[in-house]
Amino acid sequence: AQSVAQPEDQVNVAEGNPLTVKCTYSVSGNPYLFWYVQYPNRGLQFLLKYITGDNLVKGSYGFEAEFNKSQTSFHLKKPSALVSDSALYFCAVRDDSNFNKFYFGSGTKLNVKP
Partner 1 sequence: DAMVIQNPRYQVTQFGKPVTLSCSQTLNHNVMYWYQQKSSQAPKLLFHYYDKDFNNEADTPDNFQSRRPNTSFCFLDIRSPGLGDAAMYLCATSKQGDSQPQHFGDGTRLSIL
Query: Under the rule (CB under 8 A), what is the footprint of partner 1?
Result: 32, 34, 36, 41-46, 49, 51, 88, 90, 94, 99-102, 104-107, 109
Backbone angles phi, psi at 69, to 5 degrees: -70, -40
Closest CB 16 distance from partner 1, rounded Å: 26
Minimum separation from the CB atom of position 91 to partner 1 (A) = 10
Pick 81 or 105: Cβ nearer partner 1? 105
In angstroms, how far is the first alpha carbon of the chain from the final one?
41
**d(Cα 96, Cα 84) in Å, to the nearest integer?**
34
Q: Which of 48, 98, 44, 33 is nearest to 78 (CA)?
A: 48
CB closer to partner 1 out of 35 and 81: 35
Of the candidates 41, 24, 22, the one whose C-alpha atom is nearest the C-alpha of residue 87 is 41
Closest to partner 1 by CB, 17 vs 106, is 106
| Least Cβ distance, residue 51 to partner 1 (angstroms) | 5
